[in-house]
Structure 1
Amino acid sequence: MLSTWSLITTALAYMGLLFAIAWIGDRKRIARDHRNIQAVIYSLSLAVYCTSWTFYGAVGSAATTGWGYLPIYLGPALLMLFGFDLLRRIATISHHQRITSIADFIAHRYDRSHSIAVLVTLAAVIGSVPYIALQFKGITNGFNVVAGSVTNDAALPGELSLYVALTLALFAILFGTRTLDASEHHRGLMWAIAFESLVKLLAFLAIGLFVIFGIFGGFGEVAATVRENQNYQELFSPWRLPEGFGIQLVLAMTAILCLPRQFHVAIVEFRDIRELKTARWLFPSYLAVFAILAMPIALAGLVQFGGQDVHPDSYVLALPIAFDKEALTVLAFLGGFSAASGMVIVATVALAIMVSNDIVMPLLLRSGMAGVRGETDLSRTLLRVRRISIVAISLLAYAYYQAIEAGVPLASIGLLSFSAAAQFAPAMLIGLYWPGANRAGALSGLTVGVGGWFVLLLLPSLAGSEATGLPDVAFNQGAAWSLALNALAVVVVSLMFSEDTVRRRKAEREEPDAGLITLGELENTLGRFLGRDSTRRALETHLHSNHLEADALATPATVQFGERLLAGSIGSASARSVLTTALHHRGLGPEAVFELLNQTSQAVQFNRELLQATLDNMSQGVAVIDKDLRLVGWNQSYLELMNYPDGMVYLGQPVEELIRHNATRGLIRGGTSEAAVRKRLDLLRGGDPYRFERSWPDGSVIEIQGNPLPGGGYVTTFSNITHFKTIASELKLINETLEQRVRQRTQELSEANADLEEARKTAESANRSKTRFLAAASHDLLQPINAARLFVSILRQQAGEGGDEEARLVKRVDRSLTAAEELLGALLDISKLDSGMYEPDPEVIEVSELFEQLRRRFQPLAANRDLQLRVRGRKDQVFSDRNLLYRILQNFLSNAIRYTESGGVLLSCQRRGDHLRFRVSDTGVGIAEDDSRAIFQEFHRLDYAHRLEEKGLGLGLAICDRIAHMLGHRMEVRSRPGHGSTFSVTVPLASRERIEAQRPKDAPRSDHPRLQGLAVLCIDNEADILEGMNLLLDRWGCTVLLAQDREQAVQRVKEHGPPGMVLVDHHLSQQVFGLDVMAYLEELLGKRLPTIVITADRSPELEEEVRRMKYGLLRKPIKPAALRALMTNTLKNR
């Protein structure tokens, strides 16, 4: 087990590495000219969102609430995927206005309100302190778990947490407060945060893979573990979402924007739209890794430590410790350390900027220390304020950490801070999209929301209430109520003080008055906050790039540039205050007032001329009326379209006059009636949008569309759509003609389909006839071959006593019969499979037994060809039809041995989830890519097969393909000419229920009865068959009784008594069947007779009937060895 000091040394070394990375990033700037690399760094820096809560607490939450951890990952991912336009809009505005923080952004949207900025800053600090304390708790817990045993609650010395806080504060000071310009990108800091994101990702991924494949043995085992335990099934049921899932999802979505550290990395550090596009898919993918792996890790912790005193938040560290994985333990510890330290560093930097800009700077302005006439350089003072703020916030979080209870879960503290940050969302989003939102509404909403959060959520946590435990109904309701009341207050108060809206819009557009301040005074004012040299260089660059003269007075563009430059350092609200104060100290005399008014008049006139020029260049007619229904604006297209007499239209004209004039010209539906005029006026007074089309007497069609203005009145557009209507009429005529042609073509296609259907039915009928013919003719086809097989068997026994030439001839005859049997059998099998007559009989199959059968069958064949047959099985069970699966593998092995001249053949299997893949690989001639599909067609053989001694029929793989398709098994082939081939078939594993349900068969008895002296009654209508059976059974020492029909069989029984066994052919004649004869004989004798039915009929119905009567079944053509084995087994089981 690792010691405490070894962990401390590791952590210090890791911090040293972070210092080095940040130092290199600040100086080398490698990624500046590599936008793709910078986009990846930006995306990884967003992962500062994944703190010790997501690294440790998400697993703990999964172990206690099931899917309760998902909202923290799902919320940001949804916002990145579907809220991309929102993020782009906020980033673009902030980049242009040099926004420095979330407080600066919200204040800027509401008249640069200092009150809003201060309230947001205080709420952010208070809400973030518990979150920063959570990181100290995560680091300390990590030390405690790794340094001691997994169940040891002995904490490390309290001073260690203080040292961690101070070390992280030092890092934030060195790389987060190097310059005063907060909008300047902190490359080194972002490099370090991106590296930490990689470390925690690799650590969590390593733990997850270890759990899934090292502890469980794969995803299938994870799912099986859940299925086998009722508690786990309920905990991780996909239909069971914990209470408060929805509100936590909303909190997580707002957190990605409203948490100060997330706003800093996502918005303040934003450079280019490419970064957001990359982060749109990379950051959700990053979160998906954590979301997927948290559940297996939690499950492993529950299985491993169930009933033990191990906190779920420590499972990430406890699992590698429990399995003595020291390297993995160190990696997990560094991952948790990275998750916590990255958050602390960025959060303290972001909060320090907010405190210095929105609290300290306004105090300096009011106290006079930042007066315009002062000469003191305040840039160093503000930097010291930020550094002191970092230390103070860290110590405040450390104090909160000391105050909270040790057993409080990490997730609950995180949700507490999330709910605080969410209170910024209503003012931010409503102000962004609703023009009616104003300063009073935003301030009211923030006050109500933050106050509700403070009373309902924060105070209980400080008092040690259960509200800091797992999110329960009280916590979720408190968060939901505070957020809802916040949004409601923004809307209601904004409506109550709507006059403030105009003032806010004006404030957003206005620029500090120029022409009253010299460039020297502007440079002096800016230099006190930005530094003299930096200010001088920035102003010189601005004047040069905009082709401005360095005259005595500053231009409006220069003053606006100075304001944005100052806003990047002290915030937009403080920047406006500083410049306003500077202009105020200049004073305004009569001439200055006249000049200012003249400039304003010229600006208004210019804007009006620009607007009129824009309207006159529009092809649509535009008319604007005010709330009193008087004409206040129009363009030339409107006059031309309406064809008003010259001088009729004038500014302020009542629109009623124009409506009556148009009615007299027949341009208004309803004629000149008073009702038609009143209807149109009522429509305008109603304030609702409208759109309609009118056909005028000259044949033109006009589209009229009106939209109400916010302050009352309408803007109406008139579009001549005559040309479009003409085209639409022509298209309608073409469409009607086209419909007629479509109907005609549809009729032709219907007739063609009817012909095709008839042809299909004819083909199916022919196929069924072929199948019936093959099935019916199988008996007659196989009878002579069966007889020949019996005679050849006898000849082979006699050939051993004759010469070599006679033995060779008998061997060739036997080989020819074998080929004929295989050909007929294959044809019948294909016919049977194509006709759908075969019904699979799936069962649980022991893979080891199946492989042993195949090994015994093919080991001698491989040895005869000097090939090595290797078998690598598994102790698994699959669910399939035993005979059909054996048939597939038998064909694979037969082909492999046949087409392999040297080397060997491998029969193996491997698990693929809940399936088992059987593979047969060889070192044979291989198969060309063009033949990889053709080999599954009937009678297709490879072109180079003629070089081999043995040749296949070209039907085996076609049968295998049909069998696999019928069983639902996937069959594949991979091969290269000259490099061998691999054939595989994938079969489902047998479920535990099926294995338990299938009863094991009784062990065979050990006795082996002999056939010597056994009386065997052979019944067959073919004399040749009877003669062959007589010769064969006589050599086995049996007493043979022969009969060609039922009468002869009865006669033999009466003469010799009941036989010891009956071999009966099923098809004795067209009307007589072997089963009927056996039923008659058994009824005559009053006892059951050991019976074997010999037939060429392969129908399932016959097989089922034979099984029901408990007879043996042997298909023609019979092989002596198979017959003898079946007879022996029949006697043993009698």
Structure 2
Amino acid sequence: MCGILNPEDPIERQNEKLIKISEALMRRIEQNTDAEGAAYAQFQRAAMLEEEVQERTRDLEHALDLLNTSNAKLAEANREAEEARSNLANAIETIQEGFALFDPDEKLVMCNSRFGLHMPDIRAAFVPGLDFHDYVQLISRSRFREHADSEAPEDWARGRLERHKDDHVIFNVRMIWNRWVQVSEHRTPDGGTVIIQTDVTDIMRLERQERERMLDDQARVIQATLEQLNQGVCIFDAQARLVGWNQRVGELLSMPATLMRMGIRFSTLLDRFRDDISFTDGTTIETVEAWVQMPGGRPPVNFEVKRGPMLILAVTAQEMPDQGFVISFTDVTAERAAVRAIKDANEMLEARVAERTLALKEALSEAERANASKSRFVAAASHDLLQPLSAAKLYLASLEGEGESPVVAKVSRALESVEHILDALLDISKLDIGKAALHEAPVSVGTVLAQLGEELMPVARQKGLDLRMVSTSAVVRSDPTYLRRILQNLVSNALRYTDRGRVLVGARHVPRGVRIEVWDTGPGIPEDQQQAIFDEFRRLNASASAAEGMGLGLAIVERACRLLGHDLTLTSAPGIGTCFRVTLPLHDGAALHPEQAAPRGWNAPRNLGAELVLLIENDADVLRALTTILEKWDLSVLAARSEAEAHDLVDEVGVAPDAIIADYQLDDDRLGTDAIASLRGRLGPIPACIVSANRSPELIAACGKLGLTLFPKPLEPARLAAFLANVEAST
């Protein structure tokens, strides 16, 4: 039978052949009857063929049933898939943000109606099948995206495609009409891309308002500082509009109050004085106007002008980072009068002496013009600002032990904030002009960390943070003052930006050095801003007020490390935390810097045992405050406001003091070092110290030569107590 039928034929074809064979056999049986039973055999074979036909028919019917069932299931699956697709489309349509899905081949699969809503000029092009590269090109050329003047659409598209290589990307796109859209891009498990667009205009506006409020606070601090300067200062923005000034500039220029107003242009002010001033060094009005109109990168300029018959002003103009500029005016009439007098006297000398004198005058004049602005600022800030601050701190110290007062505590914290800000401004000024005095010595890292831990632990507890200082016996070579300032700024910065978790500070030994690390669990710093945080007045996500800092801490750290030759590195991960590392050289076998043993803070020992202290201070407030503290320590005080008065008091009591405390800058152009030298010449080698806001290398050298201890203002009472305790112990 297998030879008659082909198994590969369809069942219908095989049934057709079997029917034909059955009919042929039946006809043979009917036509040719075999006496030996051949006809019966043929009939039997026909019956078997009939059964096989029936069996094949049943198989065919079963196969058809299975096919129908499969078709029904396929139709149901298609219906469910279509329903799921419809549900997905409805779901993403209900999302408030714009949503788009690209497949692994970078083709647009689907998007909702809000996707690209902010760019109606290209919205119609967002259809399934759109290539991601073409999508970016459309965005880069949309007239609704705000284009930076210095950035071409091709550059923006190139940067956008570069960021597309990351698995997760979040950035903001600025639109026209001062609107912002945040774009979140995430990779799917199969290699596709999901893009979500969120309108963050309201958030950006709130952040801008908060930033403007913080800038207002900083502006008040800066204005207060400007008013303390002896120079007249005007600040102009990038459009040459007046944005800040002090009263001194109005006095020097006789500027009417109605003219000095916010937003007035430089050209208007210049026209007001065009006929009232004359230049004394070859500079012209046109030169000044050309400098102001330069597009950027303006070099500092210095010149002198004469106003009226007598007044001579030294003028310094310098560009700011935002392409605005600052102009300062210094009254140099007396100096120039002295120079003229010397010149008139030297004209009577022989020609060679006159030539040399003229060359010297020109050199001195050039040096004065180059350094007048910053030198006068540092001097004024050091003495005029720190002097009353020192008196206030001393008065607060005198209240110790008279009962707890929340008002006194708040005033103390406010003064400390002002002191920190002034110290930061002075430090950044010195570091920038290269006048910071360095005194490298062996420093115990463990001692510095322990002192910082005691000082900053209350701040950590107040925020609920775990501050840990890992002890170490490492001794490094560095400037003790600046090293402490570096670590204090790093730890304070970590505490300020960390809301929960801990701050860990420790030291690791590295080849030929020690690496101090400050770890925190704060918000982290994005990689594109890790260099910018070392700029002045830069604070990221800071909720602190201006009283807690002006964004100078890390700028001081970077400049101090650079000046000391200490390697400073930073690693950070957003959402995880940050680590600052400072690498210092090891120091072998020398005594530690004595400053590390000095106590800090307001608490000071009582009953020092000294009999008599001679105090020389020309400022009445500081004199009274320091006298009050010394008398509370059971010391007898001879309070003098000048060197002559100090000699008279010693003559009056007839007893040499056990110690001398003298301010550096006294009246009548006398110095505290001179007064101490004079008193020692009469009374012998009395232990003495100098208190001054002056931090110049010359003063430090002078104190070292005379064997004097130097205390910076504002004075720490506890350090003074330690000095007097050592004096008593040596007597």
How would you bin the TM-score normalised by the shorter chain? Answer: 0.3 to 0.5
Q: Which has the higher contact order (CA 8 A, sep 6+)?
A: 1
TM-score, normalising length: structure 1:
0.30
Q: TM-score, normalised to structure 2's length?
A: 0.46
Which is richer in strand?
2
